[in-house]
Amino acid sequence: MVQYAVTLKNGDWTVFCDGEPMERGMTRSAAIQLAKDLAFDAEERGEAVELLIQGYYGDMSRRLSGGEAEPEP
């Protein structure tokens, strides 16, 4: 399984892949689009994907490939 995450880090939106930063200094919408594109590519290769996206207020949404988004407790 590959994990992509979009979080606010040091004032910038950052895209992570398996815990390692890939792109920094993005707008939230650009970071989300990049993470979704990367997740789609991974799914096309047959990999399971977990996509985590931080909201503006720190809440996290989680989506597994083929699953529905669900907020984290």
Q: Where are the domains of the chain?
A: 2-65
Per residue in 22-66, pLDDT (tens digit) is: 999 999 999 999 999 999 999 998 899 999 999 999 999 999 985
Residue 18 CA to residue 5 CA, distance in Å, equals 8
CA-to-CA separations, 4 to 18, 20, in angstroms, rounded: 6, 9
For residues 58 and 38, is the Cβ–Cβ distance under 8 A?
no
Per residue in 4-16, pLDDT (tens digit) is: 999 998 889 999 9
What pLDDT was estimated at residue 66? 52
- Residue 68 pLDDT > 80: no
